[in-house]
Amino acid sequence: MDITGKIREIAARLLQNGEVDLFMAWEKGDLPFQSKPFFARRVEDVERIIFDEYSIHNLSNALLKFRDRQEKIGLVVKGCDSRGVVRLLEDGQIERDRLYIVGVCCPGMKDPLQAMRDYSGFNRNPEAAPLAAKCENCIQPNPVIYDELLGEEQPPRVQGERFARVRELEQLSPDERYRFFEDILSRCIRCYACRQACVACNCRTCIFDETKPQWVGRETSISDNMMYHLVRASHMAGRCIECGECERVCPVNIPLMLINQKLIKDVDNFFGPYEAGMQYVEGAKPPLSVYQENDPDDFI
């Protein structure tokens, strides 16, 4: 039986037995590349569930919609998504016993957004690649937390030096780097899709939504845009689980993972060795979430 069939079987069993109230997976749209998040609530919904090479969305993020509710939830996670579940558990956003986690060893995904843009008539040059950019950099295709595991274990897909792009940027002079960031961040339209797609962005009131005081201005100006992205990036330090959804959903193609990767590398260097969300240990605290007297500070 293929993965879709196995997921349907599990979902049907869980819904039938009342072990979960809803089951998060994907369903197919009209076009071959359209897979989208789908939450089954009834046994008869289960036949809509699919898992295919476009099941790229990180469904752990969707758990935040249910954090203040009671439902028991089943969900399908790939390697990166499972690290998202660890993020939520470590951050105290949801209880482990409300979840039934179906892990799928991920062979790498294609990006339905890229495929859709190619199909739209708006693109001059095709974008779609055999594998989504975020999957090319994957260090953990296999789920790190699950109740049931499907599929063959997969090797990490990142090739060559993991932080090569970060190192290139580090080689630039401060002025050149500033110009680079000015260029990429001036395009931001402040749609907050990066924040909304991010499982680590789970603050109940986001600093960017606060009005008393208003920490970051609402203008789409280079200074407000930079403030937004720099504050968001620093909140990601030691917390980003590298699912790459922020960069994937960005409608103006800002290379956000470059910023996140720099922080992943620095947290690992200065406070590590550390890789966020690789295992769930109850009560464990990621670096920077607690103060240690011997934390290094000579780079400040």
Partner 1 sequence: MKVLNKNKLPAVFDKLAQQSELFVPLQKKEQSGFYSWKSFDQASDQLALDLLNVYLPPKQVLLPQTEKMYSFRQEEGGVAISEVYEESQARVIFGIRACDLQAINCLDQAFLTRGFVDEFYKARRDNTTIVASACYKPGANCFCSSMGVNPLEPAGADAIIRDTGTEYFIWEARTPAGEELSRQLAEFLEEKELPLPQSQAFERQVDMEGVAEKLSQVFSSPLWEELSDACQTCGICTYLCPSCYCFDIQVKNQGEAGYRFRCWDSCMYGEYTLMAGGHNPRASATERFRNRFLHKLEFFNERYGMPLCTGCGRCIIACPAGIDISKIITAAKEAEWSA
Measured CA angle at 92 (ends 148, 149), to 5 deg = 10
Supply the DSSP symbol for 47: G
Count of residues that interact with partner 1, criterion CB under 8 A: 46
In angstroms, give the least distance from the CB of 238 to partner 1.
23
Task: Decide: 21 and 68 in contact? Cβ < 8 Å.
Answer: no
Measured between alpha carbons, how far is 205 from 225 in angstroms, rounded to an integer? 19
State which residue, 54 or 142, has the beta carbon closest to partner 1: 54
- Lay out the site mask for partner 1 across 162-201 (x = CB under 8 A, - = otherwise): -------------------------x-xxxxx-xxx----
Region near partner 1 per CB under 8 A, out of 54-62, 91-99, 130-138, 170-178: 54-62
Which of 170, 252, 279, 295 is the binder for partner 1 (CB under 8 A)? Answer: 252
Measure Cα distances from 211 to 145, 148, 208, 229, 231 in Å: 38, 44, 8, 18, 16
In angstroms, give the least distance from the CB of 270 to partner 1.
32
Which of 123, 234, 289, 292 is the binder for partner 1 (CB under 8 A)? Answer: 123
Which of 105, 119, 265, 280 is the binder for partner 1 (CB under 8 A)? Answer: 119
Minimal CA–CA distance to 46: which of 4, 11, 20?
11
Minimal CA–CA distance to 146: which of 283, 6, 39, 249?
6
34 interacts with partner 1 by CB under 8 A = yes
4 interacts with partner 1 by CB under 8 A = no
Task: Decide: 23 and 15 in contact? Cβ < 8 Å.
Answer: yes
35 interacts with partner 1 by CB under 8 A = yes
Region near partner 1 per CB under 8 A, out of 81-89, 93-101, 234-242, 243-251: 243-251
State the sign of the Cα–Cα–Cα–Cα dihedral 50, 52, 56, 59. Answer: positive
In angstroms, give the least distance from the CB of 285 to partner 1.
27
Collapsed DSSP state (helix, strand, coil) of residue 27:
strand
The helix (run of H) or strand (run of E) holding residue 76 is strand 73-77
Interface residues with partner 1 (CB under 8 A) are: 29, 31, 34-39, 41, 57, 61-62, 65, 112-113, 116-117, 119-124, 187, 189-193, 195-197, 209, 211, 214, 217-221, 245, 248-249, 251-253
